[in-house]
Amino acid sequence: MNVNLKTIIVLTALCFTAEFSQAQHLLTFIKTDWDSSYYSKYATHWSGRSYVVSKNQAFSLSNRSNNEKITYDPNAKAALGLGISYGNYALDLGFAISNKKEDEIYPTKSVDILSGLYNGQHVFDFSFQWYAGFFSSLPDSGGDTAQRTFRSDIRTFEVGIEYNYNFNYRRFSFNAPFIGTQIQKKSAGAPLAGVFMNYYDLRADKDIIPPPADSNFNNQAQLSEANLLTTGLLGGYAYTFVLPKRFTLTASITPGISFNIGDIKTQDYYSFGHPFTVSPKVVAKLAAGYGGKKFYCHLTYLYDGNYVNIGNKNEFNYNMSKLKFMVGLRIK
């Protein structure tokens, strides 16, 4: 799948560079009851907030026969932004800033939207990521330090959707710790079960394995393109501890099983997954915050790890992460 910069710019413009995680209105037509003694839908209708967020997409290639591994990381940026919400309607707009001194020398270009839509029993997460420019990190013979090389020609594109059903939606709110327009009043947890689908595309002008590491990987791992389609099942649990003075801690873990198909280009193209390969997946969401009637703040973290078995004892891992700190004020 070829993804050019024009397509990325057009899609980003259509999205208003917004945090789709706040677009709660998409599910307001679904009317659900809830236990108001456990959480409040929203203390006030209007609120404004400021935030700082850092997102990332990294990947690695492993040879399971000898436990060799090489990792690839972009030069990540942070973003500052402002947002406003009315009831279940909300919008955040941010501006990217550099948070690494080497960014000017080794620039990574990216469009990165990691978002969610949490309404009652329905928990959706979306991803749209395009990155160009990665550092490859190869451990030395002693295994203590890493040789880092910047590859501006490595480009990745990922798009995906994940859905989980919240079995205790009457008492447990995903919105409260991760978005903030609701308030969790009592500790509660919820079993989760769902499905997901991801498409991942990698392109490079030449093999991504640096020459010093060629002998550590078999021929099928010395790739310059990878097209991966992954779907599967998820199941786990989420819990929010309500502490004194309206402070809360939340943890959500949903491991899963992935079914993968795709093709790899080394010297030639070869397909893997006949009919598919099987591998694990894990999604973790953590939050700590304060939910007052007027003032609220939340620190949230998302990790989405995908471990794709591409055959020939090779594993291609890619993970997405998002760290966000938000401070808000309920206006009316």
Domain boundaries, the chain: 5-330
Strands (E), the chain: 39-40, 46-63, 68-73, 77-86, 89-98, 109-119, 122-139, 146-166, 183-184, 188-203, 225-242, 247-265, 269-291, 295-311, 314-330
Residue among 114, 43, 105, 106 at smallest CA distance from 74? 106
Q: How far apart are CA 238 and CA 137, in angstroms?
A: 34
Q: Where are the alpha helices (DSSP H) in 189-321?
A: none
- Three-class SS of residue 174? coil
Cβ-Cβ contacts under 8 Å for 101 (sequence gap 6 or more): none
111: amino acid identity, one letter: V
Note whether 59 and 72 are within 8 A (CB).
yes
Cβ-Cβ contacts under 8 Å for 213 (sequence gap 6 or more): 68, 70, 138
Q: Which pLDDT score, from 0 to 100, does residue 46 have?
A: 85
Q: What is the pLDDT along the chain (332 residues), one digit of tens a residue?
A: 444 444 444 444 444 444 444 444 444 445 567 899 999 887 777 888 899 999 999 999 988 878 888 999 998 778 898 888 776 666 777 777 765 656 667 788 888 888 888 888 999 999 999 999 999 887 766 655 567 889 999 999 999 999 999 999 999 999 899 988 889 999 999 999 999 999 999 999 999 988 878 878 888 888 899 999 999 999 999 999 999 999 999 999 999 999 999 999 887 888 887 788 899 999 999 999 999 888 999 999 999 999 988 877 888 999 999 999 999 998 87
* Residue 30 tokens, joined: 């679904």
Q: What is the CATH number of domain 5-330?
A: 2.40.128
* Residue 81 tokens, joined: 């932004």
* Residue 152 tokens, joined: 């501006």
